Chains A and B, each alone.
Chain A
Amino acid sequence: MKVDISEYKQGLYKSTGGLIRVFLKEKNGKIDDILLTGDFFIFPEESLDIMARSLKEVTLDKDAVLGSIKEIYIEENIDSPGTTPKDFANAIMAAIE
């Protein structure tokens, strides 16, 4: 295990495509570190790590998070059957609720 998930806040959200489990660390209202995990499908597979990296430093506000995810979807040409950018944003926001 690379990181100790007990130090992270966990957010769960079930999309049609699967269960999203987010682990995040918050700092000054922004995402300090984030792990996007779950049993959903996403193509290309590597795009999920890219999405996680791009979310660092993003303000923990639903619109800001969603906007950032949508950008990555376009840039990486992501196909995630049954899971939408909004589902990822919901999982992230669930971690801080």
Chain B
Amino acid sequence: MKWRYFDIGLVDPYEAMAVHEAMFISRVEEKSPNTLYLEQYNSKSVFLGYHQCAEAELNLDYCKENDIKVVRRSTGGGAGYMDLKQLNYEVTVDRKEYNIPSDFVGSYGRIMDGFVEALKYFGLKAEFKPINDLIVNGGKVSGGCMARKDTIILQHGSLLVDFDLDAAFKVLNVPKVKYESKGVKSAKSRVSWINKELGYEVDLNDLKNAIKKGFGKSFGIEFEDSGLTSYEEELVKELLPKYRSEEFIYRM
């Protein structure tokens, strides 16, 4: 079975969120195929989870002073800081077609197996750790979250490639209680990224190809490269004002 593979390249972070939701809606309405989608953001940005309080979680002054766009997702989970060097993904899939478990952790882990396979091509041993972490040598290299409707899953998240840890922790207010429970000394020591683990700068195209191959292997699928459908493009236009609106971004 063929999935769509869509690499949009550098994209505006608000537009990206509209693209994510558009592909999900269209997949739910059975107007789009299962998809593996990759993107990078064209500006520094921080992504709030749907239920997070912007003022409590972020250093909004720092964001403003450093031209970091504040974006809110329509999915739960935690805030993530992104710059132009990180890779982000979305998978939209009908879980029934691939015997993907119906529970959150089961389905999340199943989809992360695509990345586990991908990183093997670089000699990295990655493992999924519930609830939503992808771990390499004890460091979290990917976080993400999902939306579900009927049997359709939207899963999206990050793959940290060359992470600016200091900037991230200036943007995010991470309370001690968040990492103490995981038995680590600092939130920073919990995070890792691909280049750090490899000891060299990965070629982004090599990484993208490995992700494609990893998902191909994990799900037994082939890909067809294509962009958004005209219906999805219409949806993006409709959804974009919401993601750009202060009312949505600062909803709490």
User: Taking beta carbons and an 8 Å cutoff, which residues of A are in contact with B?
Assistant: 1-3, 5, 10, 12-14, 16-19, 21, 23, 35-43, 45, 48, 79, 81-82
Q: Is the CB of B131 within 8 A of A17?
A: yes
Residues of A within 8 A of B50 (CB): 45
Chain B 143-183 interface mask (CB, 8 Å, partner A; 1/0): 00101100000000000000000000000000101101100
The smallest C-beta distance from A21 to any residue of chain B, in angstroms, reads 6
Q: Would A12 and B175 be within 8 Å (CB), given that A1-B54, A5-B53 are in contact?
A: yes
Q: Does B2 count as interface, using CB distance less than 8 angstroms?
A: no
Q: Is the CB of B105 within 8 A of A81?
A: yes
Q: Is the CB of B51 within 8 A of A39?
A: yes
Q: Would A41 and B76 be within 8 Å (CB), given that A81-B105, A82-B130 are in contact?
A: yes
Interface size for B (C-beta < 8 A) is: 32
The smallest C-beta distance from A44 to any residue of chain B, in angstroms, reads 9
22 sampled A-B residue pairs with Cβ under 8 A: A1-B54, A2-B252, A3-B252, A5-B53, A10-B56, A14-B178, A17-B131, A18-B78, A21-B53, A21-B56, A23-B53, A38-B51, A39-B51, A39-B52, A39-B79, A40-B51, A41-B104, A41-B145, A45-B75, A81-B103, A81-B105, A81-B131
The smallest C-beta distance from A41 to any residue of chain B, in angstroms, reads 4
Q: Is the CB of A42 within 8 A of B175?
A: no
Residues of B within 8 A of A23 (CB): 53, 56
- CA distance in complex: A3, B77 (Å): 22
Interface centre among A1, A35, A79 (most CB of B within 10 A): A1
Residues of B within 8 A of A37 (CB): 51-53, 56, 252
In the complex, chain B residues 106-159 whose Cβ is within 8 Å of any chain A Cβ: 130-132, 145, 147-148
Choose among B77, B148, B180 the residue that contacts A18 (Cβ–Cβ < 8 A).
B77
Q: Is the CB of A1 within 8 A of B55?
A: yes
Identify the closest chain A residue to B77 (Cβ).
A39
- CA distance in complex: A36, B56 (Å): 12
The smallest C-beta distance from A72 to any residue of chain B, in angstroms, reads 15
